[in-house]
């Protein structure tokens, strides 16, 4: 890494769940003076979303340039249409990512906000209330378990630049000009010093930065000597990622995975098709059933931290537009590791003996789910080596 890519002066604040994220976000929106970029997969209609929408409208009324990107699938065609309609008489600029799959299957799954080029939010929290289910009208029993980070300093320049490029990239420009903008995207990995720590802004997409986030995960897991704590709701990585986890456990690293369950039954079956080998290698698996686990976070060896939007599955690691921060900081690692360990205590540990003697019909069910998932991924990725 060349020295000129380093800069000091960044600060990072961990935000646990919407109860910490939304007050921080709303405060920054209300203090905005020049410009706001907000990109999200889900922009709901609940109380939290209304607060954010009203704050964006107020900022636009006082002269702030407000650019909002929502995903066509994540937010939903109907809600996107309603959102656009409600913004017609305001000065908030709204663009919808990849309507009708006209630009392929990729979604923008990123949750990024940049304000005045000085402060940014990167994480897994959508614009929806902690108690609003993302998969139906029912309310959750407990707050959704998720994280974001608020960052200040030189790294925000990169996040801001990527936000600008994404905004122009999905503009109604001729295809040639859009392609030209795509070639000017930032590199997938840009690193800065944060005092005595390092911060990396990682983007992943299906054009220039495939596997960027996975490569950073693999580098950290392969170098782990003490422990790996990983929390993820949709666990379906390729063989390379799974092999890195099992190899770490075999060499004595304490590998614990906190996995979300109960949102998509097919996804649970795919994840469970991996359990037997992971458990046999010494990986600890814990299923989180208290509420929706939506966090995409990991801590390795009291130093390496990632917080972002990328699930550990083929869609996030190879197809969709994702954004993660990787931070090397002992204090932040300690804080996030504590939260993950609390989540593990609230979860249900998977008994290795259960998966060593699974009934034949469950083995067949999980195996068929894996084969269908693998076939779908090969089709989506045009048989590229996503794993």
CA 374 to chain centre: 21
- Residue 338 makes CB contacts below 8 A (sequence gap 6+) with none
For residues 375 and 368, what is the distance between their CA atoms, to the nearest angstrom?
11
- CB half-sphere exposure, 368, CA atoms < 13 A: 7
Active-site residue 116, yes or no? yes
Question: From the candidates 129, 256, 294, 321, which is the catalytic residue?
Answer: 294
Residue showing tokens 């609230």: 346
Query: Which candidate, 71, 380, 72, places its Cα nearest to that of 236?
Result: 380
Active-site residue 135, yes or no? no
Please report the pLDDT score of residue 20 as a whole number.
98
Residue 168 burial (10 A CB sphere; 0-12, 13-18, 19+) = middle
Residue showing tokens 């599955």: 313
CB 233 within 8 A of CB 296: yes
Please report the pLDDT score of residue 24 as a whole number.
98
Residue showing tokens 């959750």: 140
Which structure tokens are listed for 91?
């000065």
CB 159 within 8 A of CB 149: no
Please report the pLDDT score of residue 137 as a whole number.
67
Question: From the candidates 71, 94, 109, 205, which is the catalytic residue?
Answer: 109
Active-site residue 111, yes or no? yes
Active-site residue 301, yes or no? yes
- The fourth-level CATH superfamily of domain 195-380 is Endonuclease Chain A (3.30.870.10)
The shares of helix, strand and coil residues in the chain, as percent rounded to the nearest 5, are 40, 25, 35
For residues 200 and 208, what is the distance between their CA atoms, to the nearest angstrom?
17
Please report the pLDDT score of residue 386 as a whole number.
56
Active-site residue 205, yes or no? no
Angle 124-372-298 from CA coordinates, rounded to 5°: 25
Question: From the candidates 16, 46, 91, 116, which is the catalytic residue?
Answer: 116
List where CATH 3.30.870.10 sits in the chain: 7-182, 195-380
Question: From the candidates 296, 313, 321, 329, which is the catalytic residue?
Answer: 296
Query: Which candidate, 132, 115, 81, 133, places its Cα nearest to that of 263?
Result: 133
DSSP 140: P
Which structure tokens are listed for 77?
């065609």
How many contiguous H segments (helices) and E segments (strands) does the chain have? Answer: 12, 16
For residues 238 and 233, what is the distance between their CA atoms, to the nearest angstrom?
16
CATH value of 7-182 in 3.90.1150.10, 3.30.450.20, 3.30.870.10, 3.30.479.30: 3.30.870.10
CB 323 within 8 A of CB 155: no
Mean pLDDT, each 10-residue run in order, the chain (387 residues): 47 96 98 98 97 98 98 97 95 96 93 98 98 81 96 93 95 58 45 59 82 93 98 96 98 98 95 97 97 97 96 94 93 97 98 94 97 93 65
For residues 240 and 187, what is the distance between their CA atoms, to the nearest angstrom?
23
Please report the pLDDT score of residue 384 as a whole number.
64
Backbone angles phi, psi at 168, to 5 degrees: -70, -30
For residues 264 and 269, what is the distance between their CA atoms, to the nearest angstrom?
9
Taking the alpha carbons of 50, 52, 56, 61 in that order, is the dihedral positive or negative?
A: positive
Pairing of strands 189-194, 35-40: unpaired
Question: From the candidates 130, 146, 268, 301, which is the catalytic residue?
Answer: 301
DSSP 211: T
Torsion, Cα of 76, 53, 161, 111 (10° steps)? -50
Active-site residue 78, yes or no? no
Confidence (pTM):
0.93
CB 13 within 8 A of CB 150: yes
Q: Which helix (H) or strand (E) holds 121?
A: strand 119-123
Question: From the candidates 94, 111, 256, 321, which is the catalytic residue?
Answer: 111
């Amino acid at each position: 890494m060349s020295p000129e890519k380093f800069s000091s002066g960044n600060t990072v604040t961990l935000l646990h769940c919407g109860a910490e994220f939304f007050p921080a976000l709303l405060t920054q929106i209300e203090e905005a003076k020049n410009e706001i970029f907000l990109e999200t997969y889900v922009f709901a209609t609940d109380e939290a979303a209304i607060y954010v929408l009203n704050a964006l409208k107020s900022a636009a009324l006082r002269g702030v340039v407000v650019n909002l990107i929502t995903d066509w699938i994540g937010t939903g065609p109907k809600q996107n249409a309603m959102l656009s309609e409600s913004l017609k008489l305001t000065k908030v600029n709204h663009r919808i990512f990849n309507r009708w799959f006209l630009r392929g299957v990729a979604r923008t799954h990123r949750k990024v906000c940049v304000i005045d080029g000085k402060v940014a939010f990167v994480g897994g929290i959508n614009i929806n209330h902690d108690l609003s289910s993302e998969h139906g009208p029912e309310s959750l029993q407990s707050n959704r378990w998720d994280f974001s980070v608020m960052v200040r300093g030189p790294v925000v320049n990169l996040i801001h630049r990527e936000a600008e490029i994404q905004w122009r990239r999905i503009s109604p420009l001729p295809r040639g000009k859009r392609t030209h903008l795509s070639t000017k995207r930032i590199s997938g990995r840009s690193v800065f010093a944060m005092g005595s720590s390092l911060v990396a802004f990682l983007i992943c997409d299906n054009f220039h930065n495939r596997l960027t986030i996975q490569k950073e995960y693999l580098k950290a897991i392969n170098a782990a000597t003490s422990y790996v704590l990983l929390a993820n709701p949709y666990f379906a990585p390729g063989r390379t990622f799974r092999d890195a986890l099992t190899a770490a456990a075999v060499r004595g690293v304490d590998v614990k995975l906190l996995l979300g369950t109960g949102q998509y039954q097919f996804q649970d079956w795919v994840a469970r098709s991996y359990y037997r080998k992971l458990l046999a290698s010494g990986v600890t698996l814990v299923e989180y059933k208290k509420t929706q686990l939506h966090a995409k976070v990991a801590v390795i060896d009291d130093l390496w931290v990632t917080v972002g939007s990328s699930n550990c599955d083929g869609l996030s690691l190879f197809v969709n537009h994702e954004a993660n921060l990787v931070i090397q900081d002992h204090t932040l690692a300690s804080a996030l590791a504590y939260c993950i360990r609390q989540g593990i205590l609230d979860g249900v540990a998977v008994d290795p003996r259960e998966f060593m003697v699974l009934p034949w019909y469950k083995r067949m069910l999980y195996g068929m789910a894996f084969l269908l998932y693998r076939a779908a991924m090969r089709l989506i990725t045009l048989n590229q080596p996503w794993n």
